[in-house]
Amino acid sequence: MIKLNKTYKIETAVKLFTYWAGAFTFIILLGKVSFFYYLISLTLFLFSLFLEYKKIYLNRTFINISAFFFIILKLTSLDLETLIISFLEILLFLLSLKFLENKKFRDYMQIYLLSVIIFAGSTLIFFDITFLVYLFLFIIILNASIVFLTYYSQDPEISLPEQILIKIFLKTGLIPLLAIPFTALFFIILPRTDSPFFGFLNKSIKAKSGFSENVKLGDVSEIQEEDLIVFRVKMMKINEDLLYWRGIVLDSFDGKTWFSSIKKNEEKIELKGTPILQTIYLEAYGDKYLFGLDKPYKINYNSPFQNINKKDLTFYLSSDITSRIKYEVLSFLTSSIYESKINKDKYLQLPQNLSERIKNLAKSLKGTTKEETIKNTLRFLKYGEYKYSLINLPLSSNALEDFLFKYKYGNCEYFASSMAILLRINHIPSRLVAGYKGGIYNEVGKYYLIRQKDAHVWVEAYIENKGWIRYDPTPLLAIQAYKKPKFSKIGLLFETINYYYINFVLNYDLKKQLSVVKSISTPFKVFNLKIILNNKTIFLYSSIFILSIIMGSFFILSFLKKLKIRKEERLIKEFLRILENKGYKKNPAEGLEEFASKIKEENLKLKVFNFVKIFEEIYYKNIPLTEKVSKKLKTLIKEIKNQKI
């Protein structure tokens, strides 16, 4: 018995996959765009399914005009803050409109283009791993529908058995699968464009200025200044002396290296001072610490994968930051952290082989009170004979001693280490805080720019009843002389553009931001509106609006008309091109019938005449080209093309 296979028209397959692709764009944007637009678009989409089932199609002109008006309407209420969302809404609406039409080859292509753009756009607001799954399925479906569409464009009437269709689908499905390894490669490369490709493979041997987890002394003799940007902070301009960006607290010193030994500290710390909110755009700088203006109290970071850990008012992620991120920090501008109870032993720990010279020096700095001791030590280091330097640093196993007694110059690490150790000898609990200091304020963008060379280490000393107090023993003037901003005007301009770009891409949490912005700007907006309405400008604006609509529709109509004429011309061009391939070239001065009568092959001649007669009637009688006639002419062209001579 022969099993009869069901055959399907290729158009059905194209439609099926196209609708699937459309459905995926709806799935991906579910809950991402405003409910109102989503509902309208979805209704239209479902309605188009129904129309497709009933074989009813809407007039193209009507659809185009409504799309035009929708876009105008949407553009008038466009908010820069919700740019991506608004564009996605527009695209989704256009896509659902597109589905309502009687779809031709180009309409299918437009649908695919729109859905691809929506997918691309949604990457800016979709941060879930499920996106990858959607993307994968979408690519498979899109690929299949384009393949079927290619068949369809060759001959819309093709019918294929079900098995063949499935075979085509499965085999062409391999194309995107093969592309995955390459895509994966790009996936690795692209987010790192700010740093050189594969730069992580060969770490520079020369030490560069910058933040690090540990503070090591005596390992390098020279530190290179690095202009690489670490983070940008959107906030108001404040006094430069207060610009300490807290990164990590280092509590233990083994004579050479400072490191952090404290486990997670859950104790609640209270801060008093001016609260200040910052939005920080942190580059993938290669470590896991999140910086904040001293003292950061709370960090707000919407990370899907990582938790924020907190200790000693420093924040860090569970793994290194590999792409640019954005977070908000609430800091309190104060120089002290009040803690009633601390582990004194930890903060008084000294390296075992500490030399007597240092101990003697510490004793000489001891005052009657702890505050006085701190003051003496600070004065000794900061305003004494010690100088700031990044070159010819003490290169020894006993770097601290060499710095204090021999070289008398060094970078901030030496100053801070010295102060902490000197204080610890005098029984004052102290620790190092590493982070950044200073930054360039961009007046245009209203943000601070912090570079690797701004890396800094300072000291916190504990005084009973007062808590941890920040001291910076590094000579101030020296640092300023070293770290003069080196930004030209053009450099600054580019930097500002870069900032806005980063801002635009990373600003995914728009809803939240928008509400904040709105609440701030509402009084201004109302005020502005009043000014406008008070004048007679309302008449002017409305007349401009109406005029532009009228002109726009005229423009569209004439454009559509032109499009129709061009359609005829496209047909005749195609017709002449095919005949030229067959060896019959039309003289420009020849009429079509005259040309057709020259054809020798009877079969071909008949078909050519057939075409010419229909075409002439439309062309020389100025009859609008209907879909039906157009289709007929196209079939004739195809027949002529396939006619063997």
Rounded to an integer, what distance in angstroms lies between the CA atom of residue 417 and that of residue 458? 8
| Residue span 557-576 as binding mask against other proteins, x where in contact by CB under 8 A, dash where not | ---------------x----
Rounded to an integer, what distance in angstroms lies between the CA atom of residue 494 and that of residue 490? 6
Is 590 one of the binding residues for other proteins (CB under 8 A)? yes
Is 578 one of the binding residues for other proteins (CB under 8 A)? no
Stretch that binds other proteins, among 183-191, 206-214, 331-339, 588-596 (CB under 8 A): 588-596
| Residue span 525-564 as binding mask against other proteins, x where in contact by CB under 8 A, dash where not | ----------------------------------------
Shortest reach from residue 178's CB to other proteins, in Å: 47
C-beta closer to other proteins: residue 68 or 595: 595
Is 617 one of the binding residues for other proteins (CB under 8 A)? yes
Q: Where are the alpha helices (DSSP H) in 344-471?
A: 344-348, 356-365, 370-382, 399-401, 412-425
CA angle, corner 48, sides to 44 and 50, nearest 5? Answer: 115
Stretch that binds other proteins, among 74-82, 340-348, 427-435, 586-594 (CB under 8 A): 586-594
Phi-psi region of 323 (alpha: psi -120 to 50; beta: other; left: phi over 0): beta
Instruction: Tell me which residue has tokens 């009859």.
Output: 623
Shortest reach from residue 555's CB to other proteins, in Å: 22
Q: Where are the alpha helices (DSSP H) in 405-536?
A: 412-425, 476-482, 489-506, 510-534
Shortest reach from residue 173's CB to other proteins, in Å: 45
Is 592 one of the binding residues for other proteins (CB under 8 A)? yes
Is 319 one of the binding residues for other proteins (CB under 8 A)? no
Stretch that binds other proteins, among 215-223, 272-280, 397-405, 615-623 (CB under 8 A): 615-623
C-beta closer to other proteins: residue 363 or 585: 585
First to last CA, the chain: 42
Q: What single letter denotes the amino acid at residue 221?
A: S
Is 580 one of the binding residues for other proteins (CB under 8 A)? no
Strands 325-333 and 274-282, sheet pairing: antiparallel
Shortest reach from residue 620's CB to other proteins, in Å: 5
Stretch that binds other proteins, among 135-143, 146-154, 370-378, 616-624 (CB under 8 A): 616-624
- Interface residue with other proteins among 162, 241, 593, 627 (CB under 8 A) is 593
C-beta closer to other proteins: residue 485 or 591: 591
Shortest reach from residue 619's CB to other proteins, in Å: 6
Q: Residues 460, 469: contact at Cβ < 8 Å? A: yes
Q: Residues 290, 282: contact at Cβ < 8 Å? A: yes
Rounded to an integer, what distance in angstroms lies between the CA atom of residue 102 and that of residue 11? 12
Is 227 one of the binding residues for other proteins (CB under 8 A)? no
Q: Residues 92, 29: contact at Cβ < 8 Å? A: yes
Is 352 one of the binding residues for other proteins (CB under 8 A)? no
Q: Residues 365, 376: contact at Cβ < 8 Å? A: yes
CA 108 to chain centre: 29
- Interface residue with other proteins among 186, 539, 587, 602 (CB under 8 A) is 587
Shortest reach from residue 553's CB to other proteins, in Å: 25
- Interface residue with other proteins among 170, 616, 626, 645 (CB under 8 A) is 616
- Interface residue with other proteins among 619, 635, 639, 641 (CB under 8 A) is 619
Stretch that binds other proteins, among 275-283, 376-384, 603-611, 613-621 (CB under 8 A): 613-621
User: Residues 355 to 394: which contact other proteins by CB under 8 A?
Assistant: none
C-beta closer to other proteins: residue 569 or 627: 569
Rounded to an integer, what distance in angstroms lies between the CA atom of residue 464 and that of residue 115? 64
The structure tokens listed for 470 are 């920040």
Is 627 one of the binding residues for other proteins (CB under 8 A)? no
Stretch that binds other proteins, among 90-98, 236-244, 383-391, 612-620 (CB under 8 A): 612-620
Sequence-ordered list of residues with C-beta below 8 angstroms from that of 504, at least 6 positions apart, any chain: 83
Phi-psi region of 113 (alpha: psi -120 to 50; beta: other; left: phi over 0): alpha
Is 640 one of the binding residues for other proteins (CB under 8 A)? no
Q: Is 238 exposed, middle or buried (0-12, 13-18, 19+ CB in 10 A)?
A: middle
Rounded to an integer, what distance in angstroms lies between the CA atom of residue 173 and that of residue 429? 66
Q: Residues 315, 289: contact at Cβ < 8 Å? A: yes
Longest dimension (CA), the chain: 121
- Using CB under 8 A, list all residues that contact other proteins: 572, 587-594, 616-617, 619-622
